[in-house]
Structure 1
Amino acid sequence: MDSHTGGALAWLAQGAASNLLDRLVDRALDGPPPMPSWPRLGGSPPGTVEISVRHQLTIRTRTPVILTLQEDGSRTGTVFSVVLGHTTRVNLPGGDYFGAAMIVDPLGRTRSGQTLQGIGWSRLKVTSRRTSPLVIPAHHPTAPVLLQLGLRKPDGTPLFRLPRSRL
């Protein structure tokens, strides 16, 4: 994992450490999520990105995905809540981007945090006036990956619980 990947996911974790994570999960579960929008489209014609998150989970309930997009080299980004298995369309200015996804167990919310079912990331080049597919492959998280990404609350406790291993 390169420093850009780690930095982008750490940025997402900082926002998720607040109650933002709970609000995003609730938004995904409350019904069809609003159409995501990029904060500024700039002067050039935008391109469209169709974002899908893939995971080997069997979907029986609406499974929330916290998705972030960042322009290459940016220290901030935009966070969306989507549902696993759905494709999301976003208009973006042309350029290079980084997308990251965290799949959260909708039934795994406790006082000690959310249960993280999957995590993944992918890079994307957006071309003006074109539609680009972005598939983010998500994998089961491990404790070393969460530690490496800095997915911790300000007090040092883990931001997420890991699912019990399946035998």
Structure 2
Amino acid sequence: MDPHTGALAWLAQCAASNLLDRLVDRALDGPAAPPAWPRPAKTPAGTVEISVRHHLAAKARTPVIITLQEDGSRTGTAFPAVLGHTARIALPGGRYFGAAMVVDPARRTLQGIGWSHLTIAARRTSPCLIPVNRPSAPVILQLGLRKADGTPLFRI
């Protein structure tokens, strides 16, 4: 499994464990406190400004679930955002892999999924754009976006 698939599979596992519902609720409730990185920093912190780009021109607030993992790590952190808004996060300097899922909670559909590599410079602000595209059935199957009983987590 390549690093991209592994990170997206980790995102899928988080989503399948009811984390998705909580993150979507937090995204729609308004701005939350910035997420905390799960480990102490070995290098000085930098800031990343993450934007998610999708062809969807939603009139309503569309929730986005963003995950970040350090390169080579099997864990990371997930946090909510809203499509069209920029998330600003302080992270230890280094290389990361970011993934984003655009969801429609009312219809339980996955509207987009994408990923991007980013490098956080210590004591600087780094922009990051995650382009998302409409998912295909093979991508959904490869990522394991299924509930514990085997039913699909999302419709596409």
SS of 2:101's partner is strand
| C-alpha contact 2:67 2:78 (8 A) present in aligned 1 | yes
**Structure-2 residue corresponding to 1:124:** 118
**Structure-2 residue corresponding to 1:165:** none
**Structure-2 residue corresponding to 1:136:** 130
**Structure-1 residue corresponding to 2:148:** 154
| C-alpha contact 1:62 1:106 (8 A) present in aligned 2 | no
**Structure-1 residue corresponding to 2:57:** 58
**Structure-2 residue corresponding to 1:81:** 80
| C-alpha contact 1:41 1:92 (8 A) present in aligned 2 | no
**Structure-2 residue corresponding to 1:99:** 98
Rounded Cα–Cα distance in structure 2 between residues aligned with 1:105 and 1:152: 16
Letter in 1 for 2:65: I
Rounded Cα–Cα distance in structure 1 between residues aligned with 2:90 and 2:31: 18
The 5-angstrom pairing of residues 14-93 of structure 1 reads 14-93=13-92
Q: Identity of paired residues, percent?
A: 71
4+ long deviations beyond 4 Å: none
List gaps (5 residues or longer) in structure 2: none
RMSD between aligned residues: 1.3
Q: What TM-score comes out, normalization by structure 1 length?
A: 0.88
Rounded Cα–Cα distance in structure 1 between residues aligned with 2:123 and 2:33: 23
Letter in 1 for 2:134: H
Displacement of 1:41: 4.3
Rounded Cα–Cα distance in structure 2 between residues aligned with 1:33 and 1:42: 22
- Structure 1, 151-160 or 16-25: larger mean CA deviation: 151-160
Rounded Cα–Cα distance in structure 2 between residues aligned with 1:9 and 1:94: 22
List gaps (5 residues or longer) in structure 1: 109-113, 163-167
Rounded Cα–Cα distance in structure 2 between residues aligned with 1:44 and 1:67: 23
Aligned residues: 156
| C-alpha contact 2:38 2:76 (8 A) present in aligned 1 | no
Q: What TM-score comes out, normalization by structure 2 length?
A: 0.94
Rounded Cα–Cα distance in structure 1 between residues aligned with 2:42 and 2:76: 19
